[in-house]
A and B are shown apart, each in its own frame.
Chain A
Amino acid sequence: VETVEELCTLIRTSITWADNEIPLDITPDTELLAAGLLDSLTIRRIVANLADEAGIAIPKSQVVAANFRSPDDLWRLVREVRDASEPAAG
């Protein structure tokens, strides 16, 4: 997951869409929580997929509303987690 657009794709594929439902386009500013797109299982799936596909371990303490309101919010967290896990330059 190198861009916020790739994160949007990961979120879109983590959501279980009903048979009669056309998967919505997820954009960086999609209101994920307000639109009711994230139930508890989907949130766990997104966290698991970020770990499996991008090696990004979201701390449990960061699984809070402020980080899941939109892909932009989650992208900010992903970058913070990634920066914190990379060794300091020099």
Chain B
Amino acid sequence: MEFGWTPAEEQRYQKTLSAAGTAIPVEAGSRFTRAKWRVLGELGLLGTCVPASDGGQGLGALDTARQYEAAGRGCADTGLLFGAAAHLFACAVPIAAFGTEAVRQRLLPGMCTGELVAANCMTEDGAGSDISRLAATATEVPGGYVLQGTKTFVTNGPVADVYVAYASTDPSAGQWGLTAFVVESGNPGVAAGEPFSKLGMEGCEAGRVTFTDCFVSTDAVLGAPGRGSEIFQHSMGWERACLFALFLGIQDRLIEQCVEHARGRRQFGRRISEFQSVSNRIVDMKLRVEGARLLLYRACWAMDQGEPAVLFAALSKLAASEGALATAIDAVQLLGGRGYLRGYGVEAALRDAMGGTIFSGTSDIQRQLVAMELGL
């Protein structure tokens, strides 16, 4: 058992923490820009776990998670960082692991630098948690496939250059009939819809993407026909473990804000930190984040060891996402009027945290996975 970091790991964390705090200006309601995206590329957040031979940093799951944790603590534009994580874990990771040499060489270097934006297209109006019956189809034709269908809740969808899209190539084979494709936005038949207006994560654009008679070559298939479900689970494994490190960093930042406020604000002639109702609330925040942190590192460690990580990834996703939501509510309560007003960043953290309990597998699905792992 080793809880320490090497000097190189600690230096990397501090560097990202400091740079994320200064390089990305955060304004209330700020939206996605290519300039901010390229800064993420310079910080190494768009290719953290992509092999160095494909243009990335080549870090493992634990080191990658630690970089996202630093970014989440340093930068309050959670939507932008969430878009980066979705680009990395649900697009770059499967392209690096399952793409052909030609596709990897053409796309990954640009995806790592921030020249390209990628988006994962899985969810449909009728297929959220249950992906075994996708309506989108890909029909084999000479030289490739023709895609038909509409995807929704596509993170980065309205601004993406590259899509990783899932469609059924064999409707008679259930979950084994799905195939993953890489589709570039300039491809005829690809149309991205308008950005959704949503509760939080304003720095990230999300919307529908429609494929109409969209021809892609055989080279666009990730892995092999029928491996889509397996590839998607591979991406979700990375998302559930590493992406939610972002929410650890957010909780660290909220706790720092609450400690500073509780120590500085005086009511009834004393600092409000002297009221146990206030200090205990911060203690509970700390308890949540440290428990989630251990679970998340445990899940990432299992991934780096090549061990099954389903149980710990599900537990850590639950702990980090629900912890972030509970802590954001507590932070709004603790900061009172300042927590409720826009401009102090705390109300945005509350709105941003809600999404974390829904995407990458809802809390209900994570509990279902844990129950099954327990043999229930």
Contacts and interface: CB of A to CB of B under 8 A. Distances in A.
Given A34-B173, A39-B175, A64-B176, 9 more contacts: A31-B172, A32-B174, A33-B174, A33-B176, A38-B175, A48-B372, A48-B375, A52-B375, A68-B174
Interface stretch (B42-50, B128-136, B276-284): B128-136
A43 interface: yes
20 contacts: A33-B174, A34-B172, A36-B174, A38-B174, A38-B175, A39-B130, A39-B175, A40-B130, A40-B131, A40-B175, A40-B229, A44-B372, A45-B372, A48-B372, A52-B375, A64-B176, A65-B174, A65-B176, A65-B177, A69-B173
A85 B372 CA distance: 24
Contacts, number: 45
A39 B133 contact: yes
Contacts of B375: 48, 52
B305 interface: no
Contact of B132 (A40, A48, A69): A40
A57 B175 CA distance: 21
Contacts of A48: 372, 375
A38 to B, nearest CB: 5
Contacts of B368: 41
B226 interface: yes
A65 B174 CA distance: 8
Interface in A9-62: 31-34, 36, 38-41, 43-45, 48, 52
A40 B132 CA distance: 7
Looking at chain A, what size class is its interface with the partner chain? Answer: 10 to 19
A63 to B, nearest CB: 9
A39 B173 CA distance: 10
A33 B175 CA distance: 9
Contacts of A64: 176
Contacts of A41: 130, 368, 372
Nearest to B372: A44
Contacts of A44: 372
Contacts of B132: 36, 38-40
Nearest to B130: A39
A39 B229 CA distance: 11
A65 B226 contact: yes
Nearest to A42: B132
A53 B229 CA distance: 28
A39 B172 contact: no
Nearest to B376: A48
Contacts of B229: 40
Contact of B133 (A31, A32, A36, A68): A36
Nearest to A43: B175
B17 to A, nearest CB: 38
B227 to A, nearest CB: 11
Interface in B177-201: 177
Contacts of A39: 130, 132-133, 174-175
* Residue among B131, B174, B175 having the largest count of chain A Cβ atoms under 10 Å: B174
